[in-house]
Amino acid sequence: MKLLWVWVVLPFAFAQLVTAFFDFNETELSLIESLEYGVSKINYNPLMVGLTLIHTAGAKGAVCLDGTLPGYHWHRGYGSGANSWLIQLEGGGWCNNIRTCVYRKKTRRGSSTYMEKQIPFTGILSEKAEENPDFFNWNRVKLRYCDGASFTGDSENKGAQLQFRGQRIWLAAMEDLMSKGMRYANQALLSGCSAGGLAAILHCDEFRGLFPRTTRVKCLSDAGLFLDAVDVSGGHTIRSLYSGVVGLQGVQHNLPRICTNHLDPTSCFFPQNVINHIRTPLFILNAAYDSWQIQSSIAPPSADPHGYWHDCRLNHAKCSASQLRYLQGFRTQMLNAIKGFSMSRENGLFINSCFAHCQSERQDTWFADNSPEIRNKPIAIAVGDWYFDRTAVKVVDCPYPCDKTCHNLVFR
């Protein structure tokens, strides 16, 4: 059965959709991530939460690419969740050279000047128990992403007037939130989607270190398992991208030492080389056929000059048998990358065989009447069961096309 998903795109998202259609390249926002603020018909009247700029950040040099102040959206917790904190790190690709970073600093991904003043809180950020059963009454914070290196860089380019201060933004935001009550947390969860999901992995142990040992602290990475994959031309598109990000933005000093002690910095920006060394309990939520990775890492236009992958890239139903075999190989690579990680009793896993990207922030994929499931368990329940130790959660879907609950992304 094919489900057609109807999207009501909020007015402020429309400009981003247009941008995604016409300005897409491997390093900018893909069309997929511009769906982030789409609100499905399930949640047509979402909670809108205002932007708070971090006024103490400027003095610390913790600024966006263009030098403006960073910010977050915070909805206060109440009742049993008054001292529980969920930090969601925003995603949105990376910039890997002067040209793409200069472009980015004129967008919401590089400057708070262009950020929406209010954004909808849906999925894991929803305030409704029927939409977000375990975290609805927590303090829920969305930290905006305006550095282009997954909150890890610390450098600058004076000539191009670019500030690469992701690590400082991370630290300034945590310090600000600690002063606003997070230091009293009895439980906390660091999460993020896409580039924010990668950031949640890279900052997971730092986040744990903010709190006393008595505080329950865990991390969730949604669509952050970017693989060091070979593209369809035999090249290394994503490794080349990451090498640019790490070199340009001075990321190497802020990567986990346990990795950089024996691998090059670019390798340590790939989560597959980091996840086995993280001491804090971590949950990996990922589509086995991650739409962003298919479009931007495996079969980007630059690796497909004759356009053999053009239709398959936009719609999995148009993939040939040999293309599907290639994508099954990608799934196998993903499962191999998490083998060691999944051995830990404390870690969690939900790898569904969908063509999707970012499933925790959208209401229709997080928790709804027909949201994706593995063994009859939707994502929100899987994450909650793992976080509260109700049951161990390590679920891996059978390969495509067996899962009929997917909300697959199709692009026109």
Judged by phi (left if over 0) then psi (alpha if -120 to 50, else beta), residue 110 lies in alpha
- CA count, 13 A, side-chain hemisphere, 257: 1
Q: Annotate 262-306 with DSSP letters as a single string.
A: TS-TTGGGSGGGTGGG--S-EEEEEETT-HHHIIIIIS-GGG-TT
The alpha-helical segments, DSSP class H, found in 184-278 are 195-202, 204-208, 237-249, 257-260
Rounded Cα distance between 285 and 171, Å, is: 25
Q: CA 28, CA 260: separation in Å to the nearest integer?
A: 27
- Residues carrying an active site annotation: 194, 290, 357
Alpha-carbon torsion angle 208, 212, 213, 217, nearest 10: -40
C-alpha 177/C-alpha 394 separation (Å) is 32
Strand spans (E) along 150-215: 155-157, 162-164, 187-193
Helices (H) and strands (E) counted in the chain, each on its own, are 14, 16
- Rounded to 10 degrees, the C-alpha dihedral 360/105/242/332 comes to 20
Q: Is the dihedral of CA 102, 105, 107, 108 positive or negative?
A: positive
